[in-house]
Amino acid sequence: MTHYPDTSFLCSVYRKQVHTPQALAFRGTMKEPLPFTPLLEFEFIQAIRLPVWMHAADRTKGYGESEADAMIANWEADVAAGLHVPVPADHDAVLRLARAYSLQRTARGGHRTLDVLHVATAVHLGARTFLTFDKRQRQLARYAGLKVPL
């Protein structure tokens, strides 16, 4: 396994955002499918669905349900086409690694729980690069020995 994405990368692929051109360009150079765990997929789907709730409360925020449904359908089509592949992870091993990163880095870097878990998952799965647009997560990934090309 070469690359492991985080949610910011996936969101940039599936919805036009400031980093979308960069995410699509990088994805276009990839020769292997992107792996994902159930945790990453859950956070990605949650990141798509939460703005629907925000939009219902205030039409100037988020986006409508049909846009969210289209993003999820595109994701599922790409999974079915083999562009993304589910991979198993030993959650106990990931949590032990995440605990170590938290003890070593969170007080200095302000890392969020899921960010630490995604970096630990990438390391556990043997990824060499971590795909993220999150500044603090990039710092943690580099600390963990991952390359961060974006």
Give mean pLDDT, residues 47-76. Answer: 96
Give mean pLDDT, residues 65-94. Answer: 97
At residue 150, the pLDDT reads 87
1 neighbors 35 (Cβ within 8 angstroms): yes
Q: What integer best gives the mean pLDDT of the chain?
A: 96
At residue 1, the pLDDT reads 73
Alpha helices in the chain (DSSP H): 7-14, 20-29, 38-57, 65-80, 91-101, 107-109, 113-125, 135-143
State the pLDDT confidence band at 57, using cuts at 50, 70 and 90: very high
State the pLDDT confidence band at 122, using cuts at 50, 70 and 90: very high
44 neighbors 10 (Cβ within 8 angstroms): yes
At residue 43, the pLDDT reads 96
At residue 22, the pLDDT reads 96
pLDDT digits 0-9 by tens, 25-38: 999 999 999 999 99
Top pLDDT among 101 and 1 is at 101
Q: How far apart, in whole angstroms, are the C-alpha atoms of residue 150 and residue 147? A: 9
Domain boundary assignment for the chain? 3-143
State the pLDDT confidence band at 131, using cuts at 50, 70 and 90: very high
Domain 3-143 has CATH 2.40.10.340: no
